[in-house]
Structure 1
Amino acid sequence: MNGAVEFPLDVPELSFLAAGDALVRRTVLPSGVRILSERVPGSRSVTIGYWVAVGSRDELPGHFGSTHFLEHLLFKGTPSRTAFDIAISFDEVGGEHNAMTAKEYTCYYAKVQDRDLPMAVEVLTDMLTSSRLDPVEFETERGVILEELAMADDDPSDVANERFFEAVLGEHPLGRPIGGNADTIRAATRSAVNEHYEANYRPQDLVVTVAGAVDHDTLVADVVSALARAGWDLGLAAVPVGRRAGKAATITQGKPVTIVHRPLEQANLLIGMPGLLATDDRRVTMSVLNSIFGGGMSSRLFQEVREKRGLAYSVYSFAPGYSDAGLFGMYAGCSPAKAAQVAELMLSELRRLADEGVTADEMRRAAGQLSGGSALALEDSDTRMSRLGRSEITLGEFADLDEALRRLALVTAEGVQELARELLRGPVSIVAVGALDDDTFAGIIPVDV
């Protein structure tokens, strides 16, 4: 494979060999259902995902929390299967099944032996197409979700992360918590969740991705048969839902400094600013910057904050990207008395990278870390299945390992330095959870008063 392979929505069939002789095939049914597979030589297991390109950012007023609520409810039974039946289906074959709600998509997935793929197709199809959204189960699951949110609220790192998105992205829908909050979950109604379900779980929304020991033709036949048994009208022609426009949104910062007071032994500190879109050509440059700055034990943050000064145990950076916005962030868990020092040190290291650039040795180590990490991750069919889903839903193209390494080799030290400068031109936000004074970060960045 030379270069990335584009995934046009109006091309019914695609087939190509990717790195390692993996066979990638893609079928777009007349109904708009998209089915992608990656057959991996020597694999004996398979991971399957059912995706819809709707996440927490897509919820309308009155529907906040519906995406996460619905993720729970689809496991609670259909006319032909109880929740216990669904659980048994995977437990009795040693499989795994779960779901994830993200800001821009939802995925229901399973990992099984190759011989059990037809069962996984049948059960996941039944769950996705025929959930009863039972009123009694609805109220039971409301309690479960409230407990889940309470558990997250007891985790200061989770609290800091949620508030960080709010601080950097402000009123943008990506700034909302994925799972909703206690108020929105208590206010959620079955009718609102059902409206959300019917509006977004349609043939033209569905993407099925499978990686591992899979035969594509058999997979397509099984999916079509299962969808037909569920009552979906696959004869009704529809165009797959369009991908989100990769145009940067206008971001207005929430708050420059947010302190959540908790009587904790450690402060959970996050500092960051707007980053790059998921489709930005400089995402590989961002990966290199992140690796050098805070991506491992040899990174600048780890060395300066932990190894040289002993100010934190956990310290790193991260750079999530979405269709119209992104973030760059730094995290450290440290003593409340040292929080201001750590914050200033992390920001000064980013400024130093922007002012002085990076060394040839750092570029070499980052390339090795990223290329090796990518290769090792692809030993897992879960990663390959997720790569197919992101390629179809977000990127509109498939880049195999060889293409990823080619792009990585094009990143320059000058590009990394310029990206650091660009990040620092954005508004900086600080979020901290712990036993801190309101003026802890005074003088580091302006405090919103």
Structure 2
Amino acid sequence: MLYKDNLANGIRVITEEIPFVHSVSIGIWVGTGSRHEEGADHGISHFLEHMLFKGTKNRTAKQIAESLEIVGGQINAFTSKEYTCYYAKVLNDHFDLALDVLADMFLNSLFTLEDLEKERNVILEEIKMYEDTPDELVHDVYTKTVWQEDPLGQSIIGTVNSVEEISREQLVSYYQNHYVPQNVVIAVAGNIKRDLVLKGAETLFSKLKGNKVPKIITIPQSFNENAFVYKEIEQMHLCLGFPGIPSLDDDIYALTVLNNVLGGGLSSRLFQKVREERGLSYSIYSFHSGFSNSGLFGIYAGTSAQNAPEVVEIILEQIDDIKNRGITKEELANTKEHIKGTMLLSLENVGNRMNRLGKSEICYDRIITPEEVVNSVLQVTNEDVAQIAHKLFVKEKLVIAAVGAEKPQLNL
């Protein structure tokens, strides 16, 4: 059973009772991410996420780490462009402990100067690690090339300069402005009763106060420049694509089908054409990142510099083919079954269920059920796919980003 409740202070609580499992997953979601940062705050959402693990009035950082590990549980967090999530997964017997630890972190973190400086160094090392991972770096290069200085185009983790400049006062101010009841969702999925969730949430989170600061999120302007970042590495890492559509656009399900056919799995066109038939790449796939009022469609490929032109040529050929001729009836039927199967199988994991609930509520203010998604996908037609292909695949909007030891010579 699925329930949605509101605490007296405005925090939304989503509970999905799943009696046939032994575990429970809890997520504390905040509607703020790197997109909501301005100027000197670049990277502060991610920095703040780190700081909530560094100690509270009641627990040291070590005690936070040990508290759930000793009962076989997990605790972690992540920051995205539009939201932040702190989550735990434990046996249902330890639900009260897990919720208490998350609430303690969320409400009672100390943000000491000593911990701040230690964590600043940790994040700077994280940035270095990330820059040494070109298959991830190229995605940020691609996003920044499309959206440039818009907050949506900036990396979630921040830059060396921005992280070095973030102060304790900035962190506390950002926390006070964004970690407020109207901006928080508690999502719980697993072998737990709704009444227990509400009782625990009310007891622990009722003292959270504050009002959400209104912020107008503008639609970012898209650019169609290309970018190259030099790295002394063996492979050429490529990201190319076009501006996409918002997460709730009417065409989102047609795009889901299109993405799956083009580069969504081992049987996709790009995987078959580029890797299986010609052996030009080990990894190649397409993706769509949807946000509240914009999106980004892209294709990633890792290949040698000399093969990069051929790989890009095949990608553009497949894009043109779908744009001009659409997809086959067999591709449409197979893709629908693939999406349906993947989604329903993912629901066997309580963590996936919690993530779906939390993201849906924090981003869209409603629960988009798996049944709604599956039914919408099943209604997609070949004409729908052709329509979104024509809408997205505009040659004048093509952007290519590359990371490697030599600039790719592309014939566009």
Q: TM-score higher than 0.5 here?
A: yes
TM-score range normalised by the length of the shorter chain: over 0.9
**Of residues 146, 152, 171 in structure 1, which corresponds to 2:124?**
146
On the 8 A contact 2:6/2:12 being kept in 1, the answer is yes
SS of the aligned residue for 2:310 comes to helix
Alignment of 1:7-18 (within 5 A): none
Aligned to 1:380: 349
On the 8 A contact 2:9/2:208 being kept in 1, the answer is no
Amino acid in structure 2 at the alignment position of 1:132? L
Q: Which has the higher helix share?
A: 2
Aligned to 1:25: 3
Measured after TM superposition, the shift of residue 424 of structure 1 is 1.4
- Structure 1 residues 24-66: Cα deviation after superposition (integer angstroms, max 9, x where no partner): 1111123111111111130110100001100001012221111
Deviates more, 1:185-194 or 1:369-378: 185-194
1:232 aligns with 2:232: no
On the 8 A contact 2:34/2:43 being kept in 1, the answer is yes
1:102 aligns with 2:80: yes
SS of the aligned residue for 1:436 comes to coil
SS of the aligned residue for 1:256 comes to coil
Distance 2:4 2:60 in 1: 32
Amino acid in structure 2 at the alignment position of 1:388? L
TM-score with structure 1 setting the length: 0.88
Amino acid in structure 2 at the alignment position of 1:387? R
Distance 1:433 1:156 in 2: 7
**Of residues 107, 116, 129 in structure 1, which corresponds to 2:107?**
129
Distance 1:335 1:178 in 2: 28
Distance 2:382 2:214 in 1: 36
Aligned to 1:412: 381
**Of residues 25, 36, 54 in structure 2, which corresponds to 1:47?**
25
Distance 2:392 2:251 in 1: 13
Unaligned runs of at least 5 residues, structure 1: 1-22, 445-449
**Of residues 325, 346, 354 in structure 2, which corresponds to 1:356?**
325
Amino acid in structure 2 at the alignment position of 1:354? K
Alignment of 1:20-419 (within 5 A): 23-228=1-206, 231-232=207-208, 249-253=219-223, 256-419=225-388
Amino acid in structure 1 at the alignment position of 2:97? M
Deviates more, 1:143-152 or 1:395-404: 395-404
Measured after TM superposition, the shift of residue 241 of structure 1 is 7.9
TM-score with structure 2 setting the length: 0.96
What value does the CA root-mean-square deviation take over the aligned residues?
1.7
On the 8 A contact 1:391/1:397 being kept in 2, the answer is yes
Aligned to 1:6: none
Measured after TM superposition, the shift of residue 211 of structure 1 is 0.5
Deviates more, 1:201-210 or 1:112-121: 201-210
Are residues 363 and 176 of structure 1, via their aligned partners in 2, closer, same or farther at CA, if it must alter by over 3 Å?
A: same
Amino acid in structure 1 at the alignment position of 2:393? L
Distance 1:392 1:435 in 2: 43
Aligned to 1:436: 406
Deviates more, 1:256-265 or 1:69-78: 256-265
SS of the aligned residue for 1:273 comes to strand
On the 8 A contact 1:114/1:214 being kept in 2, the answer is yes
Q: What percentage of residue pairs aligned between the two structures are identical? A: 38
SS of the aligned residue for 1:26 comes to strand
Distance 1:264 1:135 in 2: 38
Distance 1:167 1:261 in 2: 15
Distance 1:59 1:403 in 2: 33
On the 8 A contact 1:279/1:323 being kept in 2, the answer is yes
Measured after TM superposition, the shift of residue 281 of structure 1 is 2.0
Measured after TM superposition, the shift of residue 210 of structure 1 is 0.3
Distance 1:244 1:404 in 2: 28
On the 8 A contact 2:4/2:14 being kept in 1, the answer is yes
SS of the aligned residue for 1:265 comes to coil
* Aligned pairs, number: 411
